[in-house]
Amino acid sequence: MLSDKDKMILSTLDDIKISLELIIKRCVDIKSSDDFLDEEDGLLKLDSVSMRLIAIGEGFKNVDKLSDYKLLTNYPNIPWKQVKGIRDILSHHYFDLDAETIFEICQNDINELISTTTNIIEDISKK
């Protein structure tokens, strides 16, 4: 039987997974950071992805807090400090937004993060 905390964590992880899937979907045609900047559609995608990254960072902060900072440490393949920290960078320094950084995250980090998020969901659901 899952505790209320576990249910809240699962709900947050489900929301995070949806955001990660949306990022993947929205970046299908993005082949370089310039694709974010060349046309209005690219800028809309950059804004959208950035907002999703903010939500993901905030979500993982909440998951960490709800689990008394014990859950995420079981998945050391992810640099959790950076995942949670991107929210602060994007929220507080939005006008310094670097399309190259967002592109790198989309290309190099999202797939492993969605895979790990799925693993965490499965692990909690087995309780």
**pTM recorded for the entire structure:** 0.92
| Separation between Cα atoms, residue 36 and residue 28, nearest integer Å | 12
At residue 95, the pLDDT reads 63
Structural contact between residues 61 and 87, judged by C-beta atoms closer than 8 angstroms: yes
Two tokens, residue 35 = 């694709």
Q: Is the model's pLDDT at 94 over the cut of 80?
A: no
Mean pLDDT of the chain: 94
Burial of residue 96, with CB atoms counted within 10 A of its CB: 0-12 exposed, 13-18 middle, 19 or more buried: exposed
Burial of residue 103, with CB atoms counted within 10 A of its CB: 0-12 exposed, 13-18 middle, 19 or more buried: buried
